[in-house]
Amino acid sequence: MKIKKKLNFFFIFILILFSFNNLNAQEKNYYQDIVNDWDKIFPDKNRNAAGPKFFKYILDKNITYKDFVEYNKLYCAVSGSLISPNSTPEFVYLKENVTEKKICGAYYRCCIPCSCDLMKYSKTQKMKHKFQDIEKEFYVLTIDNPCGKKDFPIQVNRNYFCSDNDLDKSQVSVLDNKLVIGYLHESRPCLSTDLDYINSHQVTGKFCELRNNTPLDQLKSGMGDIFIKLAR
C-alpha cells in the first residue's frame, strides 16, 4: 500500500511538472519576436518615426487579441524605438477624428517628449479587426497622410509609408486616408477627472505645455522635429 501511494505521488508530481513546462513553452517572448524580425520590418534598419511599420507588422500576424495588445506595448509610435518589456505607460488623451471628443488611454513611449508630440499632433479613431480568437473594435493612433509633404523629413524612410503621394497599404495600415501609427491602450472617453489628472501631471501637464509652446526650430529633445514634421 505504501509503495502504491508513493507511485501515485510520483506520477502526480511528473504530471504537474509536465504541465508547468508545457505552460512555459507556450508563453511568448514578444520582445524577442520583434528583435528577431527587425530586418524584415526595417530592411534598411531605419526605424525613425516608423511606428506605422511596427503596427502593420503586428496586425498582420495570425495572433489573439491579447497577443496583439502585448506586442503593441513594445514600440513607441512616435519615435519608432523599441521599449523595454514591463515599462510603465503614460496616461494621455487625444481628440477623436471627426467628433473631436477627447479619448483617454495608456501610451507606451520611449521618452517623455513623445507623449507631448502624440497629444498635440495625433488623433485617435476606432478600428475593427478579426483576430485569431475574437473580432474586436479598438482605438488606434493616427496622423494625416504625410506623403504629399514637400518637407517630408529626410531622416524618415519615405518608401516605408508612401507610394507616390498615396499611403502604401501593403506596408502600413490606413483608415479614411489617415496613417495608423499605433494602438491606444485601455482607451475610453475621458472623464473630467482624467483630464484634470493629465493636465496637472508633471509630464503630460507641465512639461508638455512647455514643449508644445516651443518653436519647432528650438526643439532639441526626443525625436526633435522629425515626427512633428511628419505629423503636423
pTM: 0.85
Are 87 and 201 contained in the same domain?
A: yes
Are 130 and 21 contained in the same domain?
A: no
Calpha distance 61→195 (Å, rounded): 35
Calpha distance 55→171 (Å, rounded): 10
Torsion of CA 141, 147, 152, 153, to 10 degrees: 50
Exposed/middle/buried for 183, CB within 10 Å: 0-12, 13-18, 19+? Answer: buried
Degrees to nearest 5, angle at CA 54 with 52 and 56: 70
Q: Which residues pair with 174 in a beta bridge?
A: 179
Which residue range is the domain that position 161 belongs to? 37-231
pLDDT tens figures, 145-175: 999 999 899 999 999 999 999 999 999 999 9
Are 6 and 41 contained in the same domain?
A: no
Q: How many domains is the chain built from?
A: 2
pLDDT at position 225, please? Answer: 76
Amino acid in position 141: L
Calpha distance 194→183 (Å, rounded): 19
Are 115 and 219 contained in the same domain?
A: yes
Residue 44 above 80 pLDDT?
yes
Are 116 and 200 contained in the same domain?
A: yes
Are 93 and 44 contained in the same domain?
A: yes
